Structures are given as C-alpha cells and as structure tokens.
Amino acid sequence: MNTNPPKRVEHQQTDKGYVPVYTTDVVEQPWAGYSATDHEVWATLFKRQREILLGRASDAFLLAQDAMGMTPDAIPKFDDLNIALGAATGWEIIGVEGLLPELTFFDHLANRRFPVTWWIRKPEQLDYLAEPDLFHDLFGHVPLLMNPVFADYMQCYGRGGVKAHGIGPEALVNLTRLYWYTVEFGLIKQADGLRIYGSGIVSSKGESIHCLESDAPNRIGFDLERIMRTRYRIDTYQKTYFVIDSFEQLMQATAPDFTPIYARLASRDSIPAGEVLATDPVFHRGSGEGWLNDGDV
C-alpha cells in the first residue's frame, strides 16, 4: 500500500467532547524515530508477558509468535514481520495512527491487512491504557495471523463487518460482541486445560492471570447467538469469558450468513455481562467477587 508520513492528530474538541482524532491514512512505521525508552517499554512488556503466558496462552499463539521472529531486543520492523506473515498466510501489517472508523477497519481485514498502531505507550502506562497501542496490536493481535485457520476467520470477520455495516447499527453491535468475546477476550480448550488466545488478554498482565485463575469470572462454552446478545466491559476485567474448542469450531460456527441471525436477535433482549443462563455450558460459574453493577456496554 502507499504510505504517508505519520501525523498524529492530537486531541480535538468535537461534538463528543475533547477526544483523540486520528488520520485514517496508512502510515510508514517511523522506526528510526523510536527512542531508547520506546524500545525499553517494548522489551519490558515483551519479557514480562512471555513469562506469564507460558502455560497460559494457547500453544498456537506462542508458536506463532516465535515463528514470526518477534523478540524483546527491539520494536520489530513491520517490513520484517511482513516477510514471515506473507509467506505463512498472505496477511500484511499496515501502520496506522490509532483506532479506525469501523468501515475502514473492516475493509482492511477483508483484504488481509491488519492495522497496527505505530506508537507505543509510555513507561508509566505499562499496566493500562485506554486505547490500543503498538504493544497491544503487535504483540497481541499479529501472532495468530500466522495461523491459517485464524487468519481466515479474521478475513471473514472483515467481510462480515462490511455487510453488517450495510444492514445497520444493531447488526454491528451483535458483530462487535463476537469480536470482543473471541478476538479480544477468547479462551480455548486445549488438551491440557484452558488457555488464552484473545489479544486483549495476552497484552495485559493482570487479565492474563485473572481470566484463568480467578474465581470471579464465568467461563462458558462458545455459543454464537448467546455471545451476540451479551454485553461486555470496557473498563474492568471481563465478567464472562467464552471458551472455544478449536479455531476450526470458530470458523464453522461463524460461516453461515448472519443476516437471518441479526433479524432474529433484533427482537431479543441483551444479556448482562455477568449473567449465566440455564442453557450455558459452564466451565466455571463466577463468584462475582469485585464486580461493579453498572457499566456493561
């Protein structure tokens, strides 16, 4: 793709208040511009997460991350990763300034391009920041694009997103919940136990431990329509995690046309983030300890 020099548009006053506004351009990764501190943040987070993720992240994730050649030594160059990624699945990383408008994002995925935020968080933000940065995007999302089945799932999601966008906002809400509970916060059942594959978890120290070891959250077997009805948390750990058996199961369950599903769900209530239904295949029923009552989105 043609690229432009990064130009981060800082905070701007809009009708939604004072919010970050980004260009939707694809930008060249300004690799020579990363400071020693930027590389240190990457190294610190990389080493810390890899240690936590051994025995917690799925084998598929850890193997894919090794196969890509990501190391703690320096912030990877997108061009280098793209050689491994292109050879494995034909996916490509593109540099962006931050979160993209939905349709732009879906279009990239539908064409096997994954947008990665080029800038990395500051040292005082190691444990939390409110928006995706390079560490979340690159460490969290990119490795599984090396996996052929997951790579196809992401492209199908992008195509599905373009379609849902045309159907309307309620369809988009349903589809976004699927992304949230799989791509961002999914768990997978491995022969030797539950493991993490969601990017939002693998890029977070606290949630990597919480999602598997805490009694508080529910861990429930994957069910497409159930997930599409389930609200979620954006400001706390999830109250519920959904568990897939395999990426093949995920692909098969999401292959049918969602159009009739969206129509059916339009007349049904959403499910609160922490609720367990009588029909749920429960791996663990959460104790609910520490849950806030308000704030499911």
Residue 256 vs 272, nearer CB to ligand PHE: 256
Residue 8 vs 264, nearer CB to ligand PHE: 264
- The one among 92, 254, 275, 280 contacting ligand PHE by CB under 6 A: 254
CA–centroid distance for 146 within its chain: 15
d(CA 292, CA 155): 35
Asked if residues 215 and 287 have their Cβ atoms less than 8 Å apart, the reply is yes
Torsion sign (Cα): 188, 191, 194, 200: negative
Q: Name the strand (E) or helix (H) holding 210.
A: helix 205-213
Provide CB contacts within 8 A for 127, sequence distance 6+: 204, 205, 206
Stretch that binds ligand PHE, among 110-118, 150-158, 186-194, 195-203 (CB under 6 A): 150-158
Q: Which residue is nearest to ligand PHE (CB)?
A: 160
156 binds ligand PHE (CB under 6 A): yes
257 binds ligand PHE (CB under 6 A): yes
Stretch that binds ligand PHE, among 97-105, 197-205, 217-225, 248-256 (CB under 6 A): 248-256
Query: Which of ligand PHE, Co ion, none binds 78 (CB below 5-8 Å, type-dependent)?
Result: none
Residues touching ligand PHE, count (CB under 6 A): 11
Site for Co ion, residues 150 to 209, rule: CB under 5 A = 199
Asked if residues 171 and 258 have their Cβ atoms less than 8 Å apart, the reply is yes
Residue 29 vs 199, nearer CB to Co ion: 199
Residue 151's CB: how many other CB atoms inside 10 A? 21
- The one among 19, 87, 209, 255 contacting ligand PHE by CB under 6 A: 255
Residue 137 vs 262, nearer CB to Co ion: 137
d(CA 69, CA 66): 5
Greatest CA separation for the chain: 55
Binding site for ligand PHE (CB under 6 A): 153, 156-157, 160, 163, 178, 254-258
